[in-house]
Amino acid sequence: MRVWPMYSLLAVFFMTIATFGVYGYLYSTADVKEEKQVATVVKAKKDVFTKDDSWQLIYKDTQKMKIKDLIVDVSVAKTWPERIQGLSGTPYLPKNLVKLFIFDTPAFHSIWMKDMQYTIDILWVDADNKIIHIEKNATPESYPDLFIPEDPALYVIETVAGFVNDNQINIGDIIILPL
């Protein structure tokens, strides 16, 4: 009677299942570990902006600009789709980075907090590069409210909440567009 070939087939079958089972377990464990590492990195990015330059993965092609006497990194929104998107959907904004919206003509450009995940300060700037209106601590919960300047502006700058107070930014201060 030939019993060994049947046992051999069963052995190969179970070894194959065991191999795929171990592989699947290790693969899923690696995914969980990677997700935890990514979550840790994102949390770290939110907590410690100056130690990590990974914000450049989110805010590509940054330039330098000057607000009052402070030089900051700036992510520029020049097109309508970029202006509409703004900071919506971004996980955080480093304190050394601002979002600059460049419009074609001066107008009462409004800002809303749609799909925002954090609070920001907003500055409106006229054609003479002078800050004409400031909105501090605009919260995501304010959506669908609009923030609108009192006078026409050519530029809008969004910063992390507290930026205006921390850097003593005031109406009348001058900005110098990306250097």
Residues 20, 43 within the same domain: yes
Same domain? For 83 and 166 the reply is: yes
142/124 same-domain check: yes
Query: Are 119 and 150 in a shared domain?
Result: yes
Q: Clarify whether residues 83 and 151 are in a common domain.
A: yes
Is 27 in the same domain as 115? no
Same domain, 22 and 73: no
| Domain span including residue 25 | 1-47
DSSP the chain: ---HHHHHHHHHHHHHHHHHHHHHHHHHHHHHHHHHHHHHHHHHHHH-STT-GGGGGTS-S-EEEEETTEEEEEEEE-SHHHHHHTTTT-S---TTEEEEEEEEEEE---B--TT--S-EEEEEE-TTSBEEEEEEEE-GGGTT--B--SS-EEEEEEEETTHHHHTT--TT-BEE---
Residues 155 and 123 in one domain: yes
Same domain, 72 and 123: yes
Q: Give residue 8's pLDDT.
A: 52
* Residue environment code for 76-103, b if the CB has 16+ CB neighbours within 10 A, otherwise e: bbeeeeebeebbeebebbbbbbbbbbbb
Count: domains in the chain: 2
Same domain, yes or no: 35 and 59: no
User: Does residue 40 share a domain with residue 78?
Assistant: no
> Any idea what the CATH number is for the domain that residue 96 is in?
2.60.120.1140
Same domain (yes/no): 116, 74: yes
Under a CB-based contact definition with an 8 Å cutoff, are residues 130 and 174 in contact? yes
pTM over 0.85: no
pLDDT of residue 58: 59
> Per-residue pLDDT for the chain (179 aa), expressed as one digit of tens each?
455 555 554 444 545 454 445 444 444 444 444 444 434 444 444 444 443 556 555 556 778 999 999 999 898 888 888 888 888 878 888 888 898 999 999 999 999 998 889 999 999 999 999 999 999 999 999 999 999 999 999 999 999 999 999 999 999 999 998 85
